[in-house]
Amino acid sequence: MKIYKYFLLLVLVFFSCKDKSVAPTGDPVNDNYVIAYDTPGNGDIYLYNSSTKSLVNVTSNVVDTFYFAYVSSFSDDGHELLFTLDYRKRGTEDLLFCDRDDIFSYSLITGQTIRITDTEFRETNPKYSKDKKTIVYQSFEKGYSDIYIIKQDLDNKNPVFIDTGWYPTFLSDDNQILYSSNPNHSPEFYLYNLKDRTKEKLININGSDPSVPTDNKMFVFKGSDGIYKYDFTTRTATLLIPNPNTTGFDINLHPKLSGDSKYILYINTLGPMSHAYLYSFESKNKIDMGIVFVGDFTKDSKNVVSLQRDGMHLFNIDSQRDSVLLPYQILSFGMVVSSIK
* Residue 128 and residue 76 in contact, taking contact as beta carbons nearer than 8 Å: yes
Give the up-direction half-sphere exposure of residue 321: CA atoms within 13 A in the CB hemisphere: 5
State the Cα angle at 295 between 134 and 302, rounded to 5°: 85
- Whole-model pTM: value is 0.84
In this model, does residue 244 exceed pLDDT 90? no
What pLDDT is recorded for position 219? 95
The residue-averaged pLDDT of 165-182 equals: 89
pLDDT tens digit string along 84-133? 987 665 555 445 455 578 899 999 999 999 888 888 788 899 999 999 99
CA dist 232 and 28 (Å) reads: 37
Cα four-point dihedral sign 112, 118, 122, 127:
negative
Architecture of domain 2-338: 6 Propeller (2.120)
The residue-averaged pLDDT of 247-263 equals: 82
CA dist 166 and 182 (Å) reads: 9
Sketch the domain layout of the chain as residue ranges. 2-338
The residue-averaged pLDDT of 162-186 equals: 84
